[in-house]
């Protein structure tokens, strides 16, 4: 079982729709959760961080964390073509004490 | 306020040569991390350093790879006797402090191509 799992996609949504990106993790002791956006050939850019159960909203982005289910998600409202990128879920593991990345989900927003 | 600076952006080496990748952390940051990203794969942790100390090198291959973060100057990731399998994007990140609550900010990366 991978430590951090994401559906590789591509996830295709029409412009203006809600994009829902999901991530599961295996280390129940994980404490911090991050979403990074990575455009092709570029560096990862932090979108959201979340540390406690529930929702955290920042503009068009909402991160959701459910530690009991070991699940974290990212919702992007009013998706724009400029949101088209790979979204990386990263989890700071309790056992490993380091940041573990999923392989990323490719999001394509169709104009 | 400069971000994490990496150079060179692109590096081409022939098999058997040495590659040196440099990383200057964000101003005020003293924690540096190196990651490797292969095509179609996620970022893989390699090593975590503080000034003059290697904190965790569990992700780094035992041979040919080394890293340092001296008291003065940038952090260096050194790959000796490169092989084709070393071709990848190498990213450096920095944080203000260590531990789970601290956000890591990434540099633009160095893309290493081994001929």
Q: Is the pLDDT of residue B49 over 80?
A: yes
Any A CB within 8 A of B45 CB: yes
CA distance, residue B14 to nearest chain A CA (Å): 22
Q: Two tokens at B85?
A: 């399998």
Band (A1; pLDDT cuts 50, 70, 90)? low
- Closest partner residue to B108 (CB to CB) among A31, A43, A103 is A43
- Closest partner residue to A101 (CB to CB) among B43, B101, B108 is B43
Q: Residue A49: its chain B contacts at CB < 8 A?
A: 103
Any A CB within 8 A of B54 CB: no
Please enumerate in sequence order all residues whose Cβ is within 8 A of that of A34, keeping only pairs 6 or more positions apart, or say none: A46, A48, A49, A50, A89, A90, A91, A92, A99, B103
Q: Two tokens at B99?
A: 């531990």
Q: How far apart are the C-alpha atoms of A44 and A50, rounded to whole Å? A: 17
Q: Is the pLDDT of residue A2 over 80?
A: no
Q: Is the pLDDT of residue B40 over 80?
A: no
Residue-level pLDDT at A25? 94
Q: Are B65 and B46 in contact (CB under 8 A)?
A: yes
Q: Is the pLDDT of residue B1 over 80?
A: no
Q: How far apart are the C-alpha atoms of B64 and A57, rounded to whole Å? A: 44
Q: Which has the minimum average pLDDT: A19-33, B38-52, B70-84?
A: B38-52
User: For residues A11 and B100, which has the higher predicted lDDT (pLDDT)?
Assistant: A11
Any A CB within 8 A of B57 CB: no
Residue-level pLDDT at B41? 78
The answer to whether B103 contacts A100, with C-beta atoms less than 8 Å apart, is no
Q: Is the pLDDT of residue B102 over 90?
A: no
- Closest partner residue to B56 (CB to CB) among A44, A92, A98 is A98
Per-residue pLDDT reduced to its tens digit, A92-109: 977 777 899 999 999 999
Rounded mean pLDDT of B43-62? 93
Per-residue pLDDT reduced to its tens digit, A11-22: 999 999 999 999
- The answer for B30, left when phi > 0, alpha when psi is -120 to 50, beta otherwise, is alpha
Per-residue pLDDT reduced to its tens digit, A34-84: 999 999 989 999 999 999 999 999 999 999 999 999 999 999 999 999 999
- Closest partner residue to A31 (CB to CB) among B100, B105, B108 is B100
For chain B, the straight-line distance linking the first and the last C-alpha, in angstroms and rounded, comes to 36
- Compute the residue count for chain A: 111
Any B CB within 8 A of A51 CB: yes
Residue-level pLDDT at B48? 94
Residue-level pLDDT at B98? 83
Q: Are B91 and B26 in contact (CB under 8 A)?
A: no
On the 0-12 / 13-18 / 19+ scale of CB atoms within 10 A, A7 is middle
Q: How far apart are the C-alpha atoms of B42 and A89, rounded to whole Å? A: 10
CA atoms within 13 A on the CB side of A25: 29
Cα of A42 vs its chain's centroid, Å: 17
Q: How far apart are the C-alpha atoms of B37 and B89, rounded to whole Å? A: 5
């Amino acid at each position: 079982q991978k430590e951090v799992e994401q559906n590789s996609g591509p996830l295709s949504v029409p412009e203006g729709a809600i994009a829902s990106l999901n991530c599961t993790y295996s280390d129940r002791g994980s404490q911090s959760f991050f979403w990074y956006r990575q455009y092709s050939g570029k560096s990862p850019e932090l979108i959201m961080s979340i540390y406690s159960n529930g929702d955290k909203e920042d503009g068009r982005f909402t991160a959701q964390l459910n530690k009991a289910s070991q699940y974290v998600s990212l919702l992007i409202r009013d998706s724009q073509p400029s949101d088209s990128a790979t979204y990386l879920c990263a989890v700071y593991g309790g056992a490993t004490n380091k940041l573990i990345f999923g392989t990323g989900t490719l999001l394509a927003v169709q104009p | 306020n400069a971000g994490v600076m990496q150079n060179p952006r692109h590096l081409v080496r022939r098999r058997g040569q040495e590659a040196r990748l440099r990383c200057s952390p964000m101003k005020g940051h003293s924690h540096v991390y190196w990651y490797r990203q292969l095509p179609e794969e996620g970022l893989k942790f390699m090593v975590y350093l503080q000034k003059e100390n290697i904190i965790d090198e569990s992700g780094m291959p035992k041979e040919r790879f080394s890293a340092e973060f001296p008291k003065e100057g940038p952090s260096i990731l050194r790959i000796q006797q490169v092989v084709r399998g070393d071709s990848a994007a190498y990213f450096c990140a920095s944080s203000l402090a260590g531990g789970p609550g601290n956000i890591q900010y990434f540099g633009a990366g160095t893309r290493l191509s081994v001929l």
